[in-house]
Chains A and B, each alone.
Chain A
Amino acid sequence: MSVAWVGSQPVSLMDAIQNAAKLLASSRCPVFTLDTDVHGTRSAIALAERLGGAYDHGLGETLANEVSLFTNHGGMFTTPGEARRRSSLIVLVGEIPASHHEMLESWAASRPDLGDRNKRLWFHASGSGTVSADTSKLVRKLKAVSLGGDGLSLEGALAVLRAELHGRHVASPLVNVAQFRQALNKSQFPVFVFSGTSGEAAGLVMLQGLIADLNKNGRASSVFLPADDDAWGTALTSLWMTGFPPRTGFSNSLPSYDPVRWDVQRMIREKEADLHVWMSTRGDETPPARGRIALISLSKNETPTAGAAVTISVGKAGVDHDGVTYSSRVGTFRAVAASAPSQLPSISSIVQQLAEALPGRRALPC
């Protein structure tokens, strides 16, 4: 079985590496789309730095929205484990991605064993008619009490909740606020659970303000559940390597973060970039068919990527080879062993070979 192609022609891996290196060396503005494990991400960022390129995640738009809460405001966060063990009052905020429902249901089946140890109470702050059927089902299963109001968006509901907890006037009250206030008084550690897809960034900033208010007289925190664990892992890896999340570029050899300027899809669409390096181990993913610039595809596919100058088939961490990925359940990185080891190379090893094939033949630092 072939793992490398130039155009649609099968070639040896070495030929594909040489062809890709030629494209990289001659590119004026290479851009990288990442969707891989920690080692692959580290190698790709190191290569982007060497080439003066820019990088983004495959789910760049969603990730940029999640990151904006951290870059534009900040907040108070705790881990899922801490919330499960210490909190007797959980407030779900807006839409919660389905991938986290099982974890929340497991919390409902347990009682906090540290702190106040009371039976756990659940509330759900939401805008009218803005949550999916899956989240509505979860809310019913958890018997979460609704905190919302007629015609109120999530942003409006959170603003009203914050104002009402201050005892200030509002034009449109929320339902069940008295019940929530009572629960709040009893709880030693209320926790708000939200995702980057829960609502607009402004609403999440309001939520963090509410949590800061509660911390003036007690303890409260929030659990952030990313829309996609791999994407959030890429964000954290990027942070420790460059100080910035994805949508970072290496103009003048220094990293700079700008979620608009280094939006890789925009750069391709507007023809600012002249070479796109697409790295995806998700399986059967194809790069968006926008813009007509040269494409190098490192992806977990058995066939050449349509329109790619060079395609190299790669394995996925945790399936084809061992690796390290982010897990929102534990709130940090974890090692994953290969479940079906294969001969497919890792993205990290291919990127290393690409770096060594570039003029200067220097290995990457990671």
Chain B
Amino acid sequence: MKALTFSLLAEPEERLDLSGLTPASLARLTEAQIARLRVGTSRNPALVGDIFKLTGKDAESLVFDGSSSRLDRIGAGLNGGAIRVTGDVGSQAGRKMSGGSLFVEGNVGHHAGSGMAGGRLEIKGNSGDNLGGPLSGEITGMEGGILIVRGKAGDYAGDRLRRGTVAILKGCGDYAGYRMIAGTIMVTGRVGAMPGYLMKRGSLLFDRPPEKLSPTFVACGEPDIAFPGLFDRFLINEKILDKPLLGQKPGRYGGDNAVSGKGEILFRRGRQMS
């Protein structure tokens, strides 16, 4: 059966909230019922049928064919099945997802994967600020799952990360791992200022020495531990990287000593900064 496909007819006039279009919520609906779902957020909100042309039947596998930064909250609350987007999307993609997979072929806006607890969110392009982080007024960030950005991430990636893995492959902005509680963030490429600021525990893994570190991180030598090897294997098995990230004896900083000082930054030694 062909995947249920939402083909974008034109750039929407208003921002759209697509959180209602997940495999679980569409499972028992007919095409006519889906077309009548409200997705607009303005005074005269648009319906699915105004914005998309629907084809296919398999609601376990959704495809959004099109690209617009006004497509917000795509895959929010996803708990099973698969969603693929062929272009860019707006903010809060994959927010609070707990299972299944969301694959975005373009760029995403801010708060992608915000508060996700499980599943796999993969972004082929770049992501905005606050990747995986909580919204205003919330106190927990990402709590599980795998979040992969194959491009560059903005500032505050992994804010308040509690559990799970964030992988960023072309560098990120300032304050990566800000207020991290636990979990793992790996970054290849250039990392902005103050990674790990206010982190309590958890691991930041870089493919090069960090450039602008908070002075509350202190060098801890080259620990001979099994973790780098194990994690490299995980990254390769998950097809996130095709070669080891940290190598045999990575360098290590401990911090943030302004908080509990139980977090760590592990980095590959010897690589030149670009």
Contacts and interface: CB of A to CB of B under 8 A. Distances in A.
A159 B42 CA distance: 43
Interface stretch (A109-117, A167-175, A334-342, A348-356): A167-175
B179 interface: yes
B7 interface: no
B42 A29 contact: yes
B236 interface: no
A170 B14 contact: no
B238 interface: no
B257 interface: yes
B137 A71 contact: yes
A156 B174 CA distance: 13
A51 B42 CA distance: 10
Interface residues of A, number: 39
A202 B197 contact: yes
Contact of B257 (A163, A202, A249): A163
A68 B136 contact: yes
A168 B260 CA distance: 9
B261 interface: yes
B215 A152 contact: yes
A163 B17 CA distance: 43
Contacts of A29: 14, 42-43
A88 to B, nearest CB: 26
Nearest to A162: B258
A252 interface: yes
Interface residues of B, number: 36
A170 B218 contact: yes
Nearest to A173: B215
Given A155-B214, A202-B197, A261 B43 contact: no
A205 B198 CA distance: 9
A206 B15 contact: no
Contact of A169 (B17, B137, B179, B218): B218
Interface in B217-274: 217-219, 256-259, 261
Interface in B61-84: 70, 72
A94 to B, nearest CB: 16
Contact of A163 (B178, B197, B258): B258
A160 B258 contact: yes
A52 B42 contact: yes
Contacts of B30: none
A206 B257 contact: no
B196 to A, nearest CB: 11
A171 B215 contact: yes
B91 interface: yes
A28 B43 contact: yes
Given A28-B42, A152-B215, A170-B218, A159 B137 contact: no
A166 B175 CA distance: 23
Decide if the interface of chain B is mainly helix, strand, loop or mixed: loop
A171 B42 contact: no
A166 B258 CA distance: 8
Contacts of B197: 155, 159, 202, 206
For B15, B257, B261, the residue with the greatest tally of chain A CB atoms inside 10 Å of its CB is B257
B48 interface: no
Given A163-B258, A272-B15, A51 B43 contact: yes
A275 B17 CA distance: 21
B41 A252 contact: yes
A159 B110 contact: no
B43 A27 contact: yes
A260 B110 contact: yes
A160 B14 contact: no
Nearest to B197: A202
Contacts of B256: 159, 163
A251 interface: yes
B15 A209 contact: no
A291 to B, nearest CB: 14
A10 interface: no
Given A202-B178, A209-B198, A272-B70, A159 B43 contact: no
Given A29-B14, A171-B215, 5 more contacts: A160-B258, A163-B261, A172-B215, A202-B178, A202-B194
Interface of A: 27-30, 51-53, 68, 71-72, 149, 152, 155-156, 158-160, 162-163, 166, 168-172, 202, 205-206, 209-210, 249, 251-252, 257-261, 272
Interface of B: 13-15, 17, 41-45, 70, 72, 91, 109-110, 134-137, 175, 178-179, 194, 197-198, 213-219, 256-259, 261
25 contacts: A28-B13, A28-B43, A29-B14, A72-B137, A156-B194, A156-B216, A159-B197, A159-B198, A159-B215, A159-B256, A159-B258, A162-B216, A163-B258, A168-B258, A168-B261, A170-B216, A171-B213, A202-B197, A206-B198, A209-B198, A210-B258, A259-B136, A260-B91, A260-B109, A261-B72
